[in-house]
Amino acid sequence: MTTPSENTTRKRFPPWLRKRVPAAGDRQKVHRLLDTLNLSTVCQSAHCPNQCECFSKGTATFMILGDVCTRDCRFCAVAHGQPPPPSPTEPDRVAEAAAELGLTYVVVTSVTRDDLPDGGADHFRKTILALRQRARCRVEVLIPDFKGDAEALKTVLSAEPEVLNHNIETVLRLYPDVRPAANYRQSLDLLNRAKNNLKQGLTKSGLMLGLGETSEEIVSALRDLRDVGCDLLTLGQYLQPSPKHHPVVRFVPPDEFDEYARQARDMGFAGAASGPFVRSSYRAGDLFRDASSGASKNDRDRSDTDTSLCGGSEGHAHRS
């Protein structure tokens, strides 16, 4: 079993964390479209290591409600401070971009907006509806915790997203250090309420590994997620965005990610994506389709293309 003291931060990444930059593909097209429509992506704001791959395939993960977060989690690269008011035209601009890119599966996330009465829930609802009307696509939302506001969650669920994603991010013990403004049990309660109120959709959550957790704590967190009916799981390597952020305690080898995926499937998760480069919305359409068809598998090494908006997070953008 692993312990937090093993393999502390190294000056150089291990071989499995070195990634070849893909050909340009549609990367410039995506950049131009996002600039033209004045849209943000979590791929750029969160320094996602999959950004080049996703952009080269004409994909990205939309981040609504601006690009400034009201929280300052120690793992996240997204800027924090006092954000401006939400743009009323943003839902339509997101839908226009999705339609222009020809997407069939769209992931929408946001910064955390503790300054708004509903935490931005109605903005999520409007974005889902706009995407359905304009792009006619499936929609996955990666939402903040809304400070435990049940009515805010109901607002999002009223638009009936195919997947409701909320990341617990790390194990219970590390919350005071990694997510001091969040609450582990509150996040589990959110996922439980979502599962009980979603008509046909799936719930999803994820963790970053390498923050100092033990393997026993990881397995315990997975059991907690299954106890609240969570359907889909993502596990990825935490990468420190800057010296000011939480250090990487350990680089988790690929075979350990594979083992966690196996255990997750044995626990009953309908789909589990687990690997060093996996992020909460990376190849999200693949994971959803596999789970929907009953073909759950660890898609860490899958190379087939995906017409979803994919990308993600840590050092990245798992949301608070």
Closest of 122, 127, 113, 63 to residue 280, by C-alpha = 63
Q: Band of the pLDDT at 104, cuts 50, 70, 90? A: confident
* Contact between residue 25 and residue 73 where contact means Cβ atoms under 8 Å apart: no
pLDDT at 240: 86
**How distant, in Å, are the alpha carbons of 91, 98, 100, 156 from that of 37?**
11, 11, 11, 24
**Least confident segment among 39-43, 158-162, 175-179, 311-315:** 311-315
The pair of structure tokens assigned to 260 is: 């966690």
Per-residue pLDDT tens digits for 32-68 = 665 666 665 444 444 444 444 544 444 558 889 988 8
pLDDT score, position 102: 82
Q: Please give the span between the terminal C-alpha atoms of the chain, in angstroms, as a whole number.
A: 28
What is the mean pLDDT of the segment spanning 124-150?
95
Residue 136 CB neighbours (<10 A): 12
Domains of the chain: 21-293 (3.20.20.70)
Over residues 237-255, the pLDDT tens digits come to 998 877 888 899 999 999 9
Mean pLDDT score, 153-173: 97
pLDDT band at 9 (very low <50, low <70, confident <90, very high): very low
Residue identified by tokens 């340009």 is: 24
**119's torsion region: left (phi>0), alpha (psi -120 to 50) or beta?**
left
pLDDT of residue 318: 41
Residues 3-23: what's their mean pLDDT? Answer: 57
Q: Where are the alpha helices (DSSP H) in 146-183?
A: 150-157, 175-178
Q: How confident is the model at residue 28 (pLDDT cuts 50, 70, 90)?
A: low
User: Which pLDDT tens digit goes with each residue over 173-222?
Assistant: 999 999 998 999 999 999 999 999 998 999 999 999 999 999 999 999 99
Task: Point out the least confidently predicted range of 62-66, 124-128, 244-248, 304-308.
Answer: 304-308
pLDDT band of residue 229 (cuts 50, 70, 90) is very high
Averaged pLDDT, 13-25: 64
Pairwise CA distance, residues 237 & 210, whole Å: 6
pLDDT > 60? residue 88: yes
Edge-to-edge strand list for the sheet holding 105-110:
40-41, 62-64, 105-110, 138-142, 163-165, 202-209, 232-237, 271-274
Amino acid type, 284: A
pLDDT at 32: 67
Copy the structure tokens of residue 147.
Answer: 């400070």
**Residue 142: pLDDT over 90:** yes
Using CA atoms, how far residue 302 sits from 5, 15, 41, 42, in Å, is 32, 19, 23, 22
Confirm if 79 and 69 have CB atoms less than 8 A apart. Answer: yes
Residue 130 has pLDDT above 60, yes or no: yes
Residue found by looking up tokens 């979603």 in the block: 198
Q: Which of 5-14, 58-67, 213-222, 261-270 is predicted least confidently?
A: 5-14
The burial class, CB within 10 Å (0-12 / 13-18 / 19+), for 7 is middle
Angle between helices 90-101 and 27-36 (to 10 degrees): 160
Q: Which residues of 231-247 are buried (b: 16+ CB within 10 A; e: fewer)?
A: bbbbbbbbbbbeeebbe
Sequence-separated (6 or more) residues with CB below 8 Å from residue 227: 188
Q: What is the pLDDT of residue 316?
A: 38
pLDDT mean over 260-276: 97
**pTM of the model as a whole:** 0.82
Q: Which residue has the higher pLDDT, 78 or 152?
A: 152
Q: Quick one: which H or E segment has residue 62?
A: strand 62-64
